[in-house]
Structure 1
């Protein structure tokens, strides 16, 4: 088996990140069976200035895009992409644009749980926000998502009530920006190669397979050198 790590720099209030997640899932199914992929979700905030309680979404989008008509044009394109990936986006159900710092804290903690918990949590948060219109900056919604993903609610609630890992999440976001990540999703493959944006499944699978081939070649060369010496 050839192991490949993928770090996904993402924000759970970003619809393209949800599209990107679906496309990555499709890409992983296309890979040869000898490639083993470990996916980790990394934080990014599209707008860290939003208050903890969030902001009225219509007002926020109008301010961000310079009017409701421009916002509608942008989100029409996202709706089309969602339909391609079987994501029934319901933007009208979303009342609040959330601050996602606390969501990223929980996603960070989920990485220490059993395999699959972090990815499951991210999917639950995407669904809660984009399909059900829930405020994923609200602690009650976050705790429900964590518990549903398989995390201990009491432990998570205790951590969430304080400032645990706030600084660490903010620092990780800053590192991503210094690395040149200016938009999300960004797929960082084996800490060497970056695929920017919600690329198609074919683009992602080809990039992952190419990294795996390079690793196999490097390993074969190292083994040959070891045998010769």
Structure 2
């Protein structure tokens, strides 16, 4: 059977990344009888300077993109509709705040280093669930640890990672690497470390790419 490595470059705080990963997994299911796929999640921070406590989502996005809050709310509704179409569940009232995601990325790196890509992917999905479905504070360590538990990973080890600076430099190095490759928006989906597809594409688009780029 042919195989494909997929590097899914994304941020936990990116709604299109949550939608894109859901679509990608549906694509993997479509071709699972023909291609073996391994997904590695890679870090990208949309808001690396976000202060503790985060910021109101509408005020922040309005300032970032120069749109009135009314337009931001319309854009968010479109995202929620797209998520519903792809079967990813957002909180009924949406997320309230935007948070720093660096600790989440450190935990994802830990999962990949000390376990495997499958464990890392489980944690990525659990963190998306925390951020968008539960819509709770990502600054609260317990919420991160709850995601670790949902991913069936050792909570005590994850707590030690959070309370230290483990994997901080590794995450920053990877972020810099992808920045140097020209990636400035996410999700960025890289097939066999050579072929890039940008954005939250439909499952059929991802499935075709998997079949095309399989070795």
| Same topology, TM > 0.5 | yes
1:6-85, aligned counterparts within 5 Å? 6-31=6-31, 33-66=33-66, 67-85=68-86
Query: Normalized against structure 2, the TM-score is what?
Result: 0.92
CA distance in 1, matches of 2:28, 2:91: 27
Distance 1:163 1:91, change over 3 A: farther
CA distance in 1, matches of 2:192, 2:59: 40
In the TM superposition, what is the alpha-carbon distance from 1:63 to its structure 2 partner?
2.0
1:148-200 CA deviation, whole Å, 9 max, x = no partner? Answer: 21221111111211111112111211111111111111111001101110011
CA distance in 2, matches of 1:63, 1:152: 39
CA distance in 1, matches of 2:147, 2:96: 19
In the TM superposition, what is the alpha-carbon distance from 1:138 to its structure 2 partner?
2.3
Partner in structure 1 of residue 153 of structure 2: 151
For the pair shown, the structure with the greater C-alpha radius of gyration is 1
CA distance in 1, matches of 2:141, 2:110: 15
Partner in structure 1 of residue 189 of structure 2: 187
Runs of 5+ unmatched residues, structure 2? none
1:63-103 CA deviation, whole Å, 9 max, x = no partner? Answer: 22333112112212212211211223237352321100000
Does 1:3 pair with 2:25? no
Contact 1:91 1:133 in 2 (8 A): no
Partner in structure 2 of residue 227 of structure 1: none
In the TM superposition, what is the alpha-carbon distance from 1:25 to its structure 2 partner?
1.2
Partner in structure 2 of residue 88 of structure 1: 89
Secondary structure in 2 aligned to 1:90?
coil
CA distance in 1, matches of 2:92, 2:49: 21
Contact 2:58 2:73 in 1 (8 A): no
Runs of 5+ unmatched residues, structure 1? 216-229
In the TM superposition, what is the alpha-carbon distance from 1:17 to its structure 2 partner?
0.5
CA distance in 1, matches of 2:3, 2:38: 7
1:114-170 CA deviation, whole Å, 9 max, x = no partner? Answer: 552211111111111111111223211111111221221111111211111112111
Kindly tell me the number of residue pairs found equivalent between the two proteins: 213
Secondary structure in 2 aligned to 1:47?
coil
Partner in structure 2 of residue 197 of structure 1: 199
CA distance in 1, matches of 2:168, 2:52: 13
Query: Normalized against structure 1, the TM-score is what?
Result: 0.87
Secondary structure in 1 aligned to 2:157?
helix
CA distance in 1, matches of 2:137, 2:172: 21
CA distance in 2, matches of 1:207, 1:78: 24
